[in-house]
Amino acid sequence: MKRLRFLISLTFTLTLTLHATTLAAQAEDVIRIGMIGLDTSHATAFTKTINDPEAKGHVPGAKVVAAFKGGSPDIESSWSRVEGYTKTLQETYGVELCETIEELCEKVDAVMIESVDGRPHLAQAKPVIAAGKPLYIDKPVAGSLADALEIFRLAKEAGVPVFSSSSLRYAKSTQAVRAGSIGTVTRAVASSPAHIEEHHPDLFWYGVHGCEALFTAMGTGCQSVVRRLTDDGKIEVEGTWEGGRIGIFREGKGYTGSATGEGGEKAPIGSFDGYQPLVVEIVKFFQTKKPPVSAEETIEIFAFMEAADESKRQGGKRIPLRYVLAKARR
């Protein structure tokens, strides 16, 4: 009888030990995320999707554990939101607030820059890259093409994986076209709102969403851009790709678009399917350290938008992307 009780006790102890070991291993597998910039709804939306197991579309495998407030005093939609979003992250999700980005990097495995203002992104990215942390940068990747080039240069030099993307890239219909559902795309039009913020090139602030959808469908290879206004005063930017393919961004009220394949077949692109598909890619990126969007493609998107601004400055002239890239590198 004593032997039986001993065996039962031993089995129970071994079971508890195994369970504890499993939980510890699972805890080690959870990516600890630090968030920079609590001045956008993305900060709370992404944290909810990652941290709350009961959230619709919950993405497991990571947890936002630390944050740096940030905020821009000369952008009302930034400074007016910081305290509210900070309170939500602290009280609802238990996120620790850090006084510096360097302090944040010591507590996490990976970092998300969420600052709504692209201008501080380069300064915010530098200590993250120096710490060797995989980095996701929300749109816009930077406040200028020159800063975007510098971020990716520093990351490449340090061997640190970095990527940036709008959520519109991961809409199902857009991804289907990207995967070849209609063959090579010969023409595409993508529309999104294009609210303008005085401190950024026109399309960097919000038009980037539609431009991201356009490049997801078209791929890289844009050679030149011309910007004009439609009859109702909306921004329209036409890009010419290698082989004479045409891609157009058009300012609109919603998120829409269409692509035409080499055989004439059409397919929708440019819809907004929520944040969850993007968050899935971010967490996967932090786990694998393999960027799902190349630096070259992101740089070309921002060169496209910068060329649109240059076309505006030059009265609607067609601007080669190589021109704005050379200027930004100088």
Q: How high is the pLDDT of residue 183?
A: 98
Q: How high is the pLDDT of residue 77?
A: 84
Mean pLDDT, range 229-257, rounded to an integer? 97
Please count the other Cβ atoms lying within 10 Å of the Cβ belonging to residue 11: 10
Contact between 179 and 172 under an 8 Å Cβ cutoff? The reply is no
Determine the CATH number of domain 168-275+291-329.
3.30.360.10
DSSP element (H, E) containing 173:
helix 172-178
The SS3 assignment for 253 reads coil
The pTM of this model reads 0.90
pLDDT tens-place string over residues 277-308: 999 999 999 999 999 999 999 999 999 999 99
pLDDT at residue 5 tops 60: no
State which fold the 2-164 domain adopts.
Rossmann fold (3.40.50)
At 194, is the pLDDT very low, low, confident or very high (cuts 50, 70, 90)? very high
Residue-range domain boundaries for the chain: 2-164, 168-275+291-329
- Which amino acid belongs to residue 28? E
Mean pLDDT, range 190-209, rounded to an integer? 96
Contact between 40 and 8 under an 8 Å Cβ cutoff? The reply is no
